[in-house]
Structure 1
């Protein structure tokens, strides 16, 4: 019960953007990335959300013909009812050169054959169309057992170029301090959510609340403000990639 209350009240995505960009800059930058795609995609154009999940990005493409495609496995609590096409991304049921733009956000780590997926995305993308891709480098295991890979910038560049994409840019979402800030956010969950005895959990509730203030709010803001000092950015949570056919 306590876990449900806390998890509902402390969703980072519910915070105002002016605060969230200092607590969770990784997700904040990803949203800006999707907005860039939406602004550059012509009205009424066809856009494919490859690995759409719960279609959280559909709201940005109201002026477009948005097609959500997903295998609909992985997230046991996820609602896949909004998916238009249920399909394995390794063999898409679409004709060649049909989509103006494609977004594939935090998906490539969940497919067994990422090269086949990129080849398929290239096939269904129109000439001079753009793929907007994000992949993790430093992230915990999630949606197990459907979690297979992590990518460096060199690795994803190799796979994209092998699929004949022309890379426009590869951007890390965080540096070392941003990476550390994100890891700290999980500390209260790891520490307190594993306690089985309810009375012990209740007695520790003040400390749990304090841990959220320190590790989810105060320290992440300080560390993310310091992230500008890491110019090399070898420690990053994710990469944002724009590639052209």
Structure 2
């Protein structure tokens, strides 16, 4: 069942803002069984690669060994995947390899998140780690955006605690009640973050959205 989560709302908004740069033959690396953001893009073909089979997965393979030719894709999308791979450097190298020259990669990852998808939860990324990882593998940063601040982070931590503590995904009635509470809490947190431009708030990102280019 659907339960509101502030981070997913923020990711959707970020991907939507960056979507104009993604077109042509698109590869979604780690898209999972549901392509949440596919409808935000205008594309010629959209191919989903994931380590596990699913109804919307086209290629079952590891992100560090993509079975596609060099320079075969116009764009790459990868949302909330890099924290789950043992060898993120290899994954970035593979994204670079399959991209055409001048192609874009739209990538999101968390700076904070609770332990999840165990045991395959390995990494968290600051903006500096993000930039270092991609630039040393040939990419150029085009644009990036912080996701959330202190208030959004606090809201996400709170809702994730109660989501797990009360097993809300398995309790439909209670889950719907809490989803409405989480939605109101999330809207207020986003409002507060938007109006708090302090250095202190800037340090508490939930995560990042980056647009890279293959030169």
TM range (shorter): 0.7 to 0.9
Structure-2 separation of matches of 1:170 and 1:111 = 22
Structure-1 separation of matches of 2:44 and 2:102 = 18
**TM-score (normalised: structure 2):** 0.84
Q: Does the alignment pair 1:99 with 2:65?
A: no
State the Cα deviation string for residues 160-214 of structure 1 (Å, max 9, x = none).
Answer: 01111001122111011111111122343354349xxxxxx9xxx9xx78x8389
Query: Counterpart in 1 of 2:40?
Result: 60
Greater RCO between the two (CA within 8 Å, min separation 6)? 2
Query: Counterpart in 2 of 1:234?
Result: 203
Structure-1 separation of matches of 2:79 and 2:154 = 22
Pair 156,213 (structure 1): closer, same or farther in 2 beyond 3 Å:
closer
Query: Counterpart in 1 of 2:113?
Result: 139
> Which one of 147, 162, 166 corresponds to residue 188 of structure 1?
162
Gaps of 5+ in 2: none
Query: Counterpart in 2 of 1:121?
Result: 95
Q: Work out which of the two has the higher radius of gyration on C-alpha atoms and give 1 or 2.
A: 1
Q: Over aligned residue pairs, what C-alpha RMSD do you find?
A: 2.6
Pair 212,47 (structure 1): closer, same or farther in 2 beyond 3 Å:
same
**TM-score (normalised: structure 1):** 0.75
Structure 1 SS opposite 2:193: helix
In proportion to residue count, which structure has more strand? 2
Structure-1 separation of matches of 2:164 and 2:25 = 42
* Count of equivalent residues: 207
Q: Does the alignment pair 1:111 with 2:77?
A: no
Gaps of 5+ in 1: 1-7, 13-22, 73-78, 195-200
